Amino acid sequence: MADNRSSRRGFLKGTVALAALAAGGCSSSNNGQNTAFGDSVASFFQDHYQTMTPDEIKEVLARVERKAKRAHGVDIKCENSPPIANVEFGYVLNLSKCKGTRRCVEACVVENNCGRNHSLENIRVLAMPHGTMDLNKSDHFYDHKEVPKAGEWYLPVQCHQCDEPACVQACPVEATWKEHDGIVVIDYDWCIGCRNCAVACPYWARHFNWTTPILPKDEINLKTHYLGNRPRESGVMEKCTFCIQRTRKGELPACQEACPTGARIFGNLLDPNSEIRYILENKNVFRLKEEQGTQPNFWYFSDV
């Protein structure tokens, strides 16, 4: 079946290579495709990330780097490091320590090359009035001179990397899926931009690139991952990937590193000696909107 599909696609590609030749734009050889036109033709026929051969992926990664050079004038390195064996990521957030500084949001935007022009942020910190859990009473745009403000507590929300992700179920073209290490990723080159995943997500964790993201050249993070923080284009979804480009190399996600109060604990759920396992086993943890049935890998607890 898979062979069938790729041969059909191969046929399609052949036809198009001919068409491209006929269009008189570029040569059909591989070396000749490094022009902007050649790259966009090749991008059009690019296969789904999970069906590409290692060689095809190598080609694609090089193309991503060329495109970033053309769009932003920087030399990024785009990798596709695979999941580490025996690792499944999870996150716990200590609500009594979170003071609403939003440092996590700022760090996330820079680390993940989020477009600055459309204020796309993959973490939202809600200011909650004391005594309620009703999200409809939250303040998303608090602008206090000093945090924390009396009578408020803070609830940071980002992708919960669910085990039964509603977004993955909703996508009509399988452009998003859950990796073996628990991270829900998007193939930005396969997403058609219908936003059905954003509609399905109960955590409002999916964000759309409404325009071409603008990135300040000197702030671009050059260490990128294909499924993570590589520069995106207009018309595709993005989300928190637990900083896949960092965490698959054993580093901490940028939000945890930036948190000044130590409210965030990221770790490997499969490691019995990890801090996250200790908290899950010894604290009164809970999950947000558990009744939605999506089985998040993101917990909250309160320590006081």
Partner 1 sequence: MSEKKIRKKTYSKINFLQAFLSSSLNGGRLYWVWMFSLLSIALYGATAYSQQAQFGLGVTGLSDQITWGLYISNFTFFVGVAAAAVILVIPAYLFHRREMRRVTLLGESLAVAAVTVAILFVTVDLGQPLRFWHAMPFFGKLNFPTSILAWDMLVLSLYLLVNLILLWFILYNKFCNDSPVVKRYFPLVVVAIILGISIHTVTAFMLSGNPSRPFWHTAVLAPRFIASAFAAGAALMIILFQILHLTSKFRLSKGLIREIAIIMAFSQFFSLFLLGAELYNAFYHNTAHEISAHLLYTGKIAHDNLTISIYMAITAGLIACIMLFVRRVRENVALLNIASILIFFAIWLEKGLGLIIPGFVPSPLGEIAQYTPSAIEIKVTLGIWAVGAIIFTLLARITIAIEFDGLRHK
193 binds partner 1 per the rule CB under 8 A: yes
Residues 260 and 113 sit within 8 Å (Cβ to Cβ):
no
Q: Find the shortest distance in angstroms from Cβ 136 to partner 1.
A: 4
Q: Which of 71, 135, 147, 285 binds partner 1 (CB under 8 A)?
A: 135
103 binds partner 1 per the rule CB under 8 A: no
Q: Which amino acid is at 265?
A: I
Among 294, 284, 282, 246, which Cα is nearest to 266's? 246
- Residue found by looking up tokens 């908290």 in the block: 279
70 binds partner 1 per the rule CB under 8 A: no
The alpha carbons of the chain give a radius of gyration, in whole angstroms, of 21
Coil, strand or helix at 11: helix
HSE (CB half, 13 Å, CA atoms) of 217?
Answer: 7
Alpha-carbon distances, residue 205 vs 112, 123, 200 (angstroms)? 15, 8, 10
* Angle, alpha carbons 304-134-297 (nearest 5°): 65
Site for partner 1 in 269-288 (CB under 8 A): none
Site for partner 1 in 20-49 (CB under 8 A): 44, 48
Q: Which amino acid is at 278?
A: Y
Q: Find the shortest distance in angstroms from Cβ 144 to partner 1.
A: 18
Q: Find the shortest distance in angstroms from Cβ 274 to partner 1.
A: 29
Residue 175 or 276 having the CB closest to partner 1 = 175
Q: Which of 37, 70, 210, 271 binds partner 1 (CB under 8 A)?
A: 210
Q: Which residues pair with residue 238 across a beta bridge?
A: 207
Q: Find the shortest distance in angstroms from Cβ 86 to partner 1.
A: 28
Stretch of residues binding partner 1 (CB under 8 A), selected from 25-33, 70-78, 184-192, 220-228: 184-192
Residues near partner 1 (CB under 8 A) are 4-5, 8-9, 12, 44, 48, 51, 118, 120, 124, 126, 134-138, 140, 157, 166, 169-175, 190-196, 198-204, 207-212, 234-237, 289, 292-293
